[in-house]
Amino acid sequence: MVVQSPHSVESSVPTPKNGSRRVNTQGKGLSVSGQRRASARLQAAKQRAEKELSVKRRVDHDEHADGGSSRKKVNVDTEKVNLKPKHAQSGTQQLPAISSDQTEPKMNEKVAKMVERAAKIAEGLDGTNATNATNATNAPNVVEKSAHIKVKETIRLFNKHYLHFVQEEEKRCTAVKVDKKAPKGKNAKKGNVPEVDVKGKAKRPDLKAISKEYEHYIFPLAVAIVLSGMYEDDLDNAEDVVYTGQGGHDLTGNKRQIRDQVLERGNLALKNCVDLGVPVRVIRGHESASSYSGKVYTYDGLYKVVQYWAEKGISGFTVFKYRLRRLEGQPTLTTSQVQFTYGRVPKSPSEIRGLVCEDISGGQEDVPIPATNLVDNPPVAPTACAPASGLFEGYKYCKSMKVAHNIKLPVNAAGCDCKGVCWDPKTCACARLNGSDFPYVHRDGGRLIEAKHVVFECGPNCGCGLSCVNRTSQKGLKYRLEVFRTPKKGWAVRSWDFIPSGAPVCEYIGLLTRTEELDSVSENNYIFDIDCLQTMRGLGGRERRQQDASLPMIQNMDKIDEQRSESVPEFCIDAGSMGNVARFINHSCEPNLFIQCVLSAHQDIKLARVMLFAADNIPPLQELTYDYGYALDSVYGPDGKVKRMPCYCGAEDCRKRLF
Ligand SMILES: C[S@@+](CC[C@H](N)C(=O)[O-])C[C@H]1O[C@@H](n2cnc3c(N)ncnc32)[C@H](O)[C@@H]1O
């Protein structure tokens, strides 16, 4: 049950070098929200190449060259789409059949408008999602967001609100604890307790997040259902589906109802679809969707929920029934036609199919990273996996950053004076740098609430210890990652564990190098430009991330910019010959990770750490990807010609080219 609205999560990204294989950090946004562009560095390379070409043409033809061809950009909608439902009354169980045609015309104008809009959104017809992006100097190549993307964005927005409320609740709990310990009466000291309402009642953050974003609307509202074939009362003939509501059945899988169903949650959401005339997407799959079994689900089509009623089912218990009718023009498919692909998380190494390396980190990481290959015959392992000989033909696995000999890292910042763990954002100096709050919540071992220009973590000179929440990105790998071979993209990475949105996945590790050192390198797929500054300034058409205006760094930005007329990333991370698991993470036009610049020791943004965080709740075995952020036609080969690389990410809205 999802509603749709906008959200853009930004990221910094990797790029290839000299046309071929350079990863750059500057891309932004997770798939849907912005232009892809070349890094300033790539632009400079392009300008150089153009200049050379121009001179050549002048010599050849004794005339001026066309030096100003504009880079093609893909502008993807940044418009907000709101479909906000409000709490609906709960109904009785024994309901007369009500059809959408019979819905009483007593809804006010606002609700009526919302209904109209909701229906359009669900059908992907809402015109507002085709608004062009911000860069007025380029003719917008408008790409309409798919319904799928809109749902994803809505979930991201929900996750952001959810994490904000988790933080609020965590503060409330801390305040209660501190309040209990604090001396009362005359001895009471002011300033011990954070300013939160300790008497306030706990309320589930997820429910709060829903009501915040959707308070004016009827809620819950279903946008998709999974036809699982798990209910004995289902009737499914492709055009007309009689769908049984949720709950009350035997969870052993024998399809038996053992209790009455109640008009709540999914059942209420579908009733609201009838009342509001909002269509739902039908997905054919299996009940265990929610257990992340790795099966593939197939989108069937859009259906109108035309009617609902309650009746006694085969086993004599009350079940809710919904009649769904396929909208005209939608393709047909029945559950029996769907081919499931089973992907199961192995319980032990002996269960791993296609195992070619037990741990590519050779024991360096706390959690081993196996590599599997079910593609090649004979199966090869990633080149770093030759620990027996100690020789590495390709690259060497390293879990922490190596620094090139000609780079001197800045001195570490003074840090905060907190003891043990940091908890009061008013007194913690590091929290103040983040806009007087901690960027993370404690839940699930630390989750980033939202993408920022830069995250300031506690570091070597801080009084707190490693368990401090403001060191979330410093705690090493948490999830069981696997490197696996793909047919078209080489190696790729996935997780065996569920990864919640905002959780740190890994840092991009390699050799910290000056970018100029790599100017002559033509074949390196693993270079990541550290260009947080460009993202912060919104240069090259980049969207700026939300950031607290009190940040000293932001206030000094104009000065920084004056000093550097050309904002070219000065440093990069080269994971070509040494690196960690991040070097195997592929690009996707619809990624589930985003890049976040983090400062945890010194405060020089040009040398920030590059972290990958989960942008979504990521189920096990889903490939982990981020947006490399290439502008099309921004990559040049040594011959000065534009290089092109096909993208095989497989996303619905894939733009078909990596660069
Ligand atoms: C940082 S590496 C990623 C790991 C790489 N697949 C490997 O086998 O080592 C980047 C390179 O992977 C490949 N790649 C990544 N994402 C891709 C995509 N969506 N489509 C095609 N190739 C991709 C390209 O060759 C790219 O230059």
Q: Are strands 511-514 and 571-574 parallel, antiparallel or unpaired?
A: antiparallel
By alpha-carbon position, which residue is closest to atom 7 of ligand 1?
Answer: 491
Q: How far apart are CA 612 and CA 506, in angstroms?
A: 5
595 DSSP assignment: E
The domains found in the chain, sorted by start residue, are 219-337 (2.30.280.10), 364-385+393-540+567-626 (2.170.270.10)
Query: How many whole angstroms from 490 Cα to the centroid of ligand 1?
Result: 6
Contacts of 439 (CB under 8 A, 6+ apart): 448, 449, 452, 455, 456, 470
Query: How many whole angstroms from 387 Cα to the centroid of ligand 1?
Result: 24
pTM above 0.90, yes or no: no
Q: Which of 18-32, 195-209, 413-427 has the lowest mean pLDDT?
A: 18-32
Query: How many whole angstroms from 585 Cα to the centroid of ligand 1?
Result: 7
Query: How many whole angstroms from 486 Cα to the centroid of ligand 1?
Result: 10
pLDDT over threshold 90, residue 429: yes
Residue 219 three-state SS: strand
Percent helix, strand and coil across the chain, each to the nearest 5:
25, 20, 55
Q: In sequence order, what are the beta bridge partners of 612?
A: 506, 595
Query: How many whole angstroms from 374 Cα to the centroid of ligand 1?
Result: 18
Q: What is the pLDDT of residues 484-529, one digit of tens each?
A: 999 999 999 999 999 999 999 999 999 999 999 887 777 788 999 8
By alpha-carbon position, which residue is closest to atom 13 of ligand 1?
Answer: 489
Q: What is the mean pLDDT of the chain?
A: 72
pLDDT over threshold 90, residue 197: no
Best residue for ligand 1 mutational test, from 24, 489, 524 (most atoms within 8 Å of Cβ): 489
pLDDT over threshold 60, residue 566: no
Q: How far apart are CA 308 and CA 275, in angstroms?
A: 10
Q: Which of 219-223, 297-301, 626-630 has the lowest mean pLDDT?
A: 297-301
Query: How many whole angstroms from 330 Cα to the centroid of ligand 1?
Result: 35
Q: What is the pLDDT of residues 312-332, one digit of tens each?
A: 988 889 999 999 998 887 665
Q: Ligand 1, closest atom to CA 490?
A: 8
Task: Please compute, for residue 415, the number of CA atoms within 13 A of its CA located in the half-sphere on the CB side.
Answer: 20
Using CB atoms within 10 A of its CB, is residue 572 exposed (0-12), middle (13-18) or buried (19+)? buried
Q: Ligand 1, closest atom to CA 585?
A: 3
Q: Which of 107-111, 125-129, 537-541 has the lowest mean pLDDT?
A: 125-129
Dihedral sign, CA of 105, 111, 113, 114? negative
Contacts of 378 (CB under 8 A, 6+ apart): none
Residue 624 banded pLDDT, cuts 50, 70, 90: very high
Residue 640 banded pLDDT, cuts 50, 70, 90: confident
Best residue for ligand 1 mutational test, from 493, 494, 587, 657 (most atoms within 8 Å of Cβ): 587
Q: Higher model confidence: residue 653 or residue 348?
A: 653
Query: How many whole angstroms from 228 Cα to the centroid of ligand 1?
Result: 35
Residues with CB under 6 A from ligand 1: 16, 21, 23, 489-491, 525-526, 583-584, 586-588, 647-649, 658
Give the range with max mean pLDDT: 101-115, 365-379, 541-555.
Answer: 365-379
Q: How far apart are CA 119 and CA 650, in angstroms?
A: 28
Best residue for ligand 1 mutational test, from 25, 586, 588, 645 (most atoms within 8 Å of Cβ): 586
Residue whose entry in the numeric block shows the structure tokens 């929900």:
158
Query: How many whole angstroms from 18 Cα to the centroid of ligand 1?
Result: 16
Q: How far apart are CA 590 and CA 90, in angstroms?
A: 37
Mean pLDDT of 591-614: 95
Q: Are strands 440-441 and 490-495 parallel, antiparallel or unpaired?
A: unpaired
283 touches 227 (CB < 8 A): yes
Residue 161 three-state SS: helix
Q: Higher model confidence: residue 137 or residue 332?
A: 332
Query: How many whole angstroms from 397 Cα to the centroid of ligand 1?
Result: 18
Q: Ligand 1, closest atom to CA 649?
A: 19
Q: Are strands 142-143 and 235-236 parallel, antiparallel or unpaired?
A: unpaired
